[in-house]
Amino acid sequence: MKRGIRAIASMRFAIAILLLLGIGSAIGTLLPQNEAAAFYLQQYGNTWGTIIYQTGISHVFTTVWFAILAVLLCISLLFCVIFRAGRILQGIQAQGFKAYLALFGSWLLHAGILLTIFFFVLGNATAFEDTVRNVPGTVTKVEGTHLSVAVDDFTMDVRDDGTVDHYTTAARILDDSGVRAEGNIQVNHPLTVDGYQFSQNATGYAVTAYIDKDDEPIGHAPLFLGEYVTADEDGIVLTLLNIYPDYIETAEGPATRSLEMNRPYVLYRVYYNGQDLGVRLQAVHQPVHVGAYRFLFTDPAMSTVLAVRKDAWAKWTGFGAGLLFLGTVLVFFAPQNAQKETEAEE
């Protein structure tokens, strides 16, 4: 038992785990992550595709083996920190704090790494994460929280050269008691309420789809880019693929002259009674007939996508990182006398 603990606390063990974590992390960046099994089979063939998916190389950072490696590193660091603490305390009592500053820094560095990993894992395991899509003038409940987002306006400031200067969402964050926060959300300028951070994440388009059957309205719903609406128990399904605000036909296909909604056209896919009728292009406000159904796209608008995240442990991860940094400064730049003695003893 004692020998096992000593082995886990050893530098050799920690280095081996670090090396494996490094190799695993590198692989995680070299292979596309979190795709469906079919993707890997298609890209790498049956044998390699199966190996990649089954071993978890397709989703390295959420695999059991990656988690086990992180836990082993934490255990190793924990033993290392505990064992060293007693020795350093004894040394400080005998020779004073200054002589042991570098060794204390080394201890702090290891404790900092331990806390950073621990709170990172804890934070990710317990974090709330969602995205909210809105068009101006709408209110959307953030599911799983007590908050809603009201978007009053969304603007995209474009420079003369066509590049984007700012995406700005004028938003109010609401709960049962009323408005909790109000302001412009931009990239680098989030809005935070009760630990929930609302960040400008993306932009897109949306329309409202009206669907009739036998000339009777059967529903209408906002339709965001990449999403679908369905009605009459999937009798009709519409997927929004793109919107051309200022539509123009070119040799390469449909395009837009500007971002102004001068001549909006909708690119969509339609399924009728389970049958894929293909991709179609349609001007807004012009009805389309498919069998007994009639549908119509209205109110084309830019939509804003806000990322909502709450990580109750982020500050503690920051605390761990702070200790890590402070420890690094001390271990490298404080007097090394005691450290050399301890190394010699080791």
**Does 55 interact with another protein (rule: CB under 8 A)?**
no
**Does 163 interact with another protein (rule: CB under 8 A)?**
yes
Would you put residue 214 in left (φ > 0), alpha (ψ -120 to 50) or beta?
Answer: left
**Does 155 interact with another protein (rule: CB under 8 A)?**
no
Out of 18, 67, 279, 283, point to the residue binding another protein (CB under 8 A): 18
Residues binding another protein: number (CB under 8 A): 47
**Does 61 interact with another protein (rule: CB under 8 A)?**
yes
Residue 313: partners with Cβ closer than 8 Å, 6 or more residues away = 119, 120, 122, 123, 126
The rounded Cα 55 to chain-centroid distance in angstroms is 23
Residue 284: partners with Cβ closer than 8 Å, 6 or more residues away = 207, 264, 265, 266, 297, 298, 299, 300
Min separation Cβ 171 and another protein, Å: 14
Per CB under 8 A, which of residues 304..333 are in contact with another protein? 307-309, 311, 314, 317-318, 321, 324-325, 328-329, 332-333
Out of 7, 25, 65, 286, point to the residue binding another protein (CB under 8 A): 25
Out of 199, 256, 303, 304, point to the residue binding another protein (CB under 8 A): 199
Helix (H) or strand (E) holding 208: strand 196-213
**Does 28 interact with another protein (rule: CB under 8 A)?**
yes
* Cβ atoms within 10 Å of 278's Cβ, excluding its own: 8
Nearer to another protein, 143 or 216 (CB): 143
Single out the segment in contact with another protein by CB under 8 A; choices: 11-19, 87-95, 272-280, 284-292. Answer: 11-19
Q: In three state form, how does the secondary structure of 119-160 look?
A: HHHHHHHHCEEEEEEECCCEEEECCCCCCEEEEEEEEEEECC
Single out the segment in contact with another protein by CB under 8 A; choices: 39-47, 157-165, 240-248, 268-276. Answer: 157-165
Structure tokens given for 274: 């389970």
**Does 68 interact with another protein (rule: CB under 8 A)?**
no
Min separation Cβ 119 and another protein, Å: 11
d(CA 255, CA 242): 10
**Does 343 interact with another protein (rule: CB under 8 A)?**
yes
Out of 49, 91, 190, 245, point to the residue binding another protein (CB under 8 A): 190
With b meaning 16 or more CB within 10 Å and e meaning fewer, what string describes 209-231? bbbbbeeeebebebbbbeebbeb
Q: Are 267 and 242 in contact (CB under 8 A)?
A: yes
Q: Which residues bind another protein (CB under 8 A)?
A: 11, 14-15, 18-19, 21-22, 25-26, 28-30, 33, 61, 120, 159, 161, 163-167, 186-190, 197-201, 307-309, 311, 314, 317-318, 321, 324-325, 328-329, 332-333, 343
